[in-house]
Structure 1
Amino acid sequence: MRFLTPMAATLLVAAPAVAQTVSPATYVAKAGASDRFEMESSRLVLGSTKDPKVRDFANQMIADHTQSTQQVKAAAKQAGITVPPPKLEPMQAKNVAELRRATGTARDQLYMQQQRTAHQMALDLHQGYAQNGSSAPLKAVAAQITPVVQSHMQHLTAM
């Protein structure tokens, strides 16, 4: 059984409350950072993994998170929100750096652990905004993305 670090546990507990109160621009920024982390970490692990299950999952993450980025950008445009280029949040940048330092199966294991945490945070963000957001186009896209993130979490649980 894997345990979360105190920082990750704090973020997971705080995430639903944060998601309920974020502005449309903050939601767009956080969704963009989440997608960027998923794509960047997945590309990194694709360069080294020998595990076909990890490879398949990473390829799915790149495809699905590319799509969700496009969906959020379109909804933001519809809502009149300027979308800055996605930027990793500090914890995400730290995770990518840790992933770069890891090698072999240790990298694969770290990637999967990070994906579990990142997907829980993404789920909290999208569910929270779908339920409590103030921008109708962004609420709709958050509701569309939520089941995709849930399917990723199910896939992670099955691996």
Structure 2
Amino acid sequence: MKNIILMMIFCLGGLAAKAQIPQPDPDTTAKHFLIVASIKNLQEISAGQQALQKTKHPEVKGFAQMMIKDHGQAEQALLALAKSRGINLPPTATGGIKPDLLLAGATNFDSAYVHAMSAGHGNTVQMFENYATTGKDPAVRAWAQQMLPTLKMHLEHIKTIEKQLK
């Protein structure tokens, strides 16, 4: 019995010692956020380029041009931020995004593009709001906060176009 008690104390003591050793807490959320944001930027640019070629509506063409310009600038800022934070983004997050095949094969391209932009920007705004309030990396959090007004403006703009097309 005495041996069992000593063994339990020894085991519990080992667990307590392990619990007291500080474990590294890498901020993988900043890297994940930047990867997803980069992919979203590249998708917006690619879809915008498709829209310039296929749209029949001047409002959609103007929106597509804005997507290419704004998300191109956002991507450059994101890459500089990632570099300054020592975050290496994988090539899949920074390489060329292929055109969306669902948009390419859509019978009504404008409707499909506008719907995709509306849903996509809704998700993107939500993702940026989340990181802007809960993100661990202060520089990445500040960038997310800085990008939010533009993303919200994109969302409002595309919702207006969506109403016009209905």
Q: TM-score, normalised by structure 2?
A: 0.74
The reply on whether 1:102 has 2:106 as its aligned counterpart is: yes
Q: Which amino acid is 2:115 matched to?
A: Q
Partner of 1:56: 62
Structure with higher RCO (Cα < 8 A, 6+ apart): 1
Q: Which amino acid is 1:102 matched to?
A: A
Partner of 1:145: 147
Q: Say which one has the larger Rg.
A: 2
Q: Which amino acid is 1:100 matched to?
A: A
The offset of 1:69, in angstroms, is 0.9
CA RMSD, aligned part only? Answer: 2.1
Give 5+ residue unaligned stretches, structure 1: 1-20
Give 5+ residue unaligned stretches, structure 2: 1-26, 162-166
Q: Which amino acid is 2:101 matched to?
A: A
The offset of 1:86, in angstroms, is 4.8
Q: TM-score, normalised by structure 1?
A: 0.77
CA spacing shift, 1:152–1:22, aligned 2, 3 Å: farther
Q: Which amino acid is 2:49 matched to?
A: R
Contact persistence 1:76–1:137 (CA under 8 A): no
Contact persistence 1:130–1:143 (CA under 8 A): yes
- Find the aligned partners of 2:93 and 2:111 in 1 and give their Cα distance: 25
Percent identical across equivalent pairs?
28
Count of residues in correspondence between the two structures: 133
Partner of 2:4: none
The reply on whether 1:155 has 2:161 as its aligned counterpart is: no
